[in-house]
Amino acid sequence: MKEIFFTKTHEWVRFLTDTTARIGISDYAQDQLGDLVFVNLPEVGDEVTAGDEFADVESVKAVSNVYSPVTGTVRAVNEDLLDHPELINEDAYDAWFIEVEDIVDRAELLTQEEYDAMNA
């Protein structure tokens, strides 16, 4: 398993290569949001920009933006989440949202320790 990084806005990113990565939301985030009922995902081919929102997650009474840790192009989306948003609650690190390629920029990223310290 590759190393995982986090953003201050509670997304995780796992680099597959230097220019490709999978992105999701942290376990802390899913816990705070509670039972998720829907996710809005981008489409394959969409550009995402580090620090900008690319998706949102819905609980019953709230909607929260999800921000991209990197700048690049979406090459895959996890369509399972559309029918089964509960997967995010069950295992946030397995429930990736999108896979990004041609990464040219990164947001400020935290290591697991730094991220845990931030939430402590």
Partner 1 sequence: MKLIFEKGKEGRGCEMLPESDVPVTAPSEKFLRKKELRLPQVSETEISRHYTQLMKRTFGVNNGFYPLGSCTMKYNPKVNDDMAKLPGFTEVHPLQPESTVQGCLEVLKKTEEALCEVTGMDAIDFQPAAGAHGEFAGLKLIWAYHQDRKDVKRTKIIVPDSAHGTNPASAAMAGFSVINIPSTKEGYVDLEELRKVVGEDTAGFMLTNPNTIGMFDENILEITRIVHEAGGLNYYDGANLNAIMGIARPGDMGFDVVHLNLHKTFSTPHGGGGPGSGPVGCKEQLIKYLPTPRIINKDGSLTFDSKSEVSIGRVKAFYGNFLVVVRALTYILTLGAEGLRKASENAVINANYMLHLLKDTFDIPFPGPCMHEFVISLEELKKEKGVSALDFAKTMLDYGNHPPTMYFPLIVHEALMVEPTETESIETLKEVAEIYKQIYDRAQKEPEALHLSPVTTVVGRPDEVAAARNPILRYQFK
Partner 2 sequence: MGNYVPNTPGEQQEMLKELGVNDIRELFRAVPDQVYLNTPLKLAKGLSEFEVKRRMKQIAAKNTVFSSIFRGAGAYHHYIPSIVTQITSKEEFVTAYTPYQAEISQGILQSIFEYQTMICELTGMDVSNASVYDGATAAAEAVIMCKERKQRKALVSAAIHPQTIETIRTYCMGTDMEMLLIPLKDGRTDLEKLEEMLDSETSCVLLQQPNFFGQLEDCDAVGEILSGTEIKYILSCNPISLGLLKTPAEYGAHIAVGEGQPLGLPLSFGGPYLGFMATTEKLMRRLPGRIVGETKDHKGERTFVLTLQAREQHIRREKASSNICSNQALCAMTAAVYLDAMGQKGLAQAAQLSMSKAHYLAERLCELKEFSLAYEGDFFNEFVTDYQGDVDKLLTGLEERGILGGYPLGAGQLLWCATEMNTREEIDALLEAIKEVLGA
Write out the binding residues for partner 2, residues 24-83 only, by CB under 8 A.
Answer: 37-38, 58-63
Q: Does residue 60 touch partner 1 according to CB under 8 A? A: yes
Q: Does residue 37 touch partner 1 according to CB under 8 A? A: yes
Give 38's strand partners.
58
* Position 75, amino acid: R
Q: Does residue 79 touch partner 1 according to CB under 8 A? A: no
Q: Where are the beta strands (DSSP E) in 1-120?
A: 4-6, 11-15, 21-25, 38-40, 47-48, 53-58, 63-67, 70-77, 98-106
For the bound state, the minimum distance from the C-beta of residue 54 to partner 1, rounded and expressed in Å, comes to: 19
Binding site for partner 2 (CB under 8 A): 37-38, 58-63
